[in-house]
Structure 1
Amino acid sequence: MKEIHESIFELIGEIEPNPIVRAEKLAQVFGVGKRSVINRTKGYTVLRVDEIEKLMAAFNFSWLDIAKLNGEISIDNSTYEYVRLTKENFFHEIPRYVRIYRDMMEEMLKMDNPWIKIICSDVPMFHMMKFEHLTYFKFYMYYHHKFDKSLTFEKFSERLKLLCLDLSFETIATAYTSIKSVEIWDRKAFEELLLLIQECSDYGKLEHMTSLRVLMEEANLLARYLQKCAKSAQKCDLEKVNFYEYESILRDGFVVFGNGARPFKLSQKEFMLQSFLTSDPMLLVDFDDSFAALIGRSNLLIKTSVRNQRSFRKHFRWLFNMYKKCILHHK
């Protein structure tokens, strides 16, 4: 099996075969000289994760492309569902991306005993899709970080609204409340959303104060909703949700979808919004085992002390109030 740097630079060589252009682009991505670029291509200097993500954005490839080249997985359309989002196709392809998840959730509602297991490195989209503007914001953050830093949130939202995805968001959110789930959270997951809102506010990505207030209002509603779910162990007073607290930081988020005793689908996050769905049996077993391992190192909220339960539930509102002071009171 190839080393990770070998796979990455072999892939980059296929994408950009001109060695002069490729070298110039690599130097620009890394922000280093020729010798340092060579050290990275040869593996003498280990690539950091943020450097790999910059290469993905610059040369337009993904973790899935690396895995395919490395022979770790065999891709076929019956096993993998993947929508490759680029700057050029984003507004054309994002409806298909949403539709894949909507169709799967609707199909799960027809099953006898569906379930979902989530590693929450950030707030899961299933929860966020209850809130229209926060959902737009999540999509915007992906587009902003990966493709276009000049487009404002309002201009992006105007284009996204033309696609009429609101009904699909609502369908996904509603279906999720009717399917039992187990979720492993850490105390940084909700804060990531607030940090992104603060970043947009600080760097002028919001044209109007009204937009900021709407986002903060929905973030407050989301905090209250999550607090209620954690307290009642139910989603909207419907299906059961078990919250587990992981006391470190969960950096890699994924979702395992199952029916009865078997997992049947895995959603693996690549970067912020971008992810792929697979029913590959080996990956399903491995990720289900990984989830079980993390469960073993986490605390089931309802079985912890009353003090810890209160602390976890109130943490969402505490974070919101702290960021509200930082974001709104400085305007």
Structure 2
Amino acid sequence: MNTYDAAAARVRRVTVTSPYDGQRIDNFLLRELGATQGTVPRTLIYRILRTGEVRINSQRAKPTTRVRTGDEIRIPPIKIQAAPSSTLEIPESWLSRVPEMIVYEDESLLVIDKPAGLAVHGGSGIAFGLIELLRTATQQGEELELAHRLDRETSGLILLAKTRTALHALQTQLRPEGQAEKRYDLIVHGRWPAALQRVEAPLEKWQGDGAAHRVQVTASGKSAVTHFSCRAQAPQTSLMQAQLHTGRTHQIRVHAAHVGHPIVGDEKYGQRALDKALGLPERPPLMLHAAQLTLHHPRTNQAMRFSAPPPASWRAVLTAAGFSSAGLRALFSPQA
């Protein structure tokens, strides 16, 4: 186990330079501490943020706070002693799957079709995630970074940057006011009303960080907007497409449940009884897939569009739910 000795080091003050403008403070600290002290658990980053030991221009910061060029970051004294067996070992069974996950790759970015069940990064009892897997498989090391995130149980398209310049450009596009667009396929319970195309309900996290946290609709939450469109319907379920206009944690899942149409297989916000009624031998996985991604190349500014069909396992759920062959074609055929 790693140990932390605060008395053995000194407070550091780091000034943010332009390549890191707009980066979240938790990711800034992971990079900054990792570059000088080796692997730093994300849980430690959240702890020193939560206790106020990290300051931006003498002010406390949340993990989601974004740093700006010229900001002075106070970093508390931390000393990490790595365990003798700290080398990360990733099973060959996962390494061999990487080539089939790659949708697109060039000198600036990597587009991956992430399988459901793979976290984007290790921590909190998870030995490794997508970023550790790809850093090992591609031999990119710490230069390869996530441009955004997907829930562990959500499958589909995710962007990674190979350079700091590309990361900054991609993150700028992925902000709510940016030009990138993300669209998701999902299967929900019930027949979605044709008139319900926009869900606007503020969201707030509670129960703290980590696996146990949840998100709820509350008037004191942050603004969140999701557009929904129906692609096909079965007697008791609907095949939907969702487009995010804000990027809150679990946004699509919570908004769908909030309007009475929880996502099939959602163990956190769904309904087990409704999933059981589909007649499958076991509860289905989360039926949420990042299907389309539109952006401009971070170096050339060329418009780019990527798409990926949902996992093949969705076919069994669609069939059990009573979708027609037309519904299956709508989901698995190339999308306009």
Query: How high is the TM-score relative to the length of structure 2?
Result: 0.29
Bigger RCO of structures 1 and 2 (CA < 8 A, at least 6 apart): 1
- TM-score of the two chains, using structure 1 as the length reference: 0.29
Higher relative strand content? 2
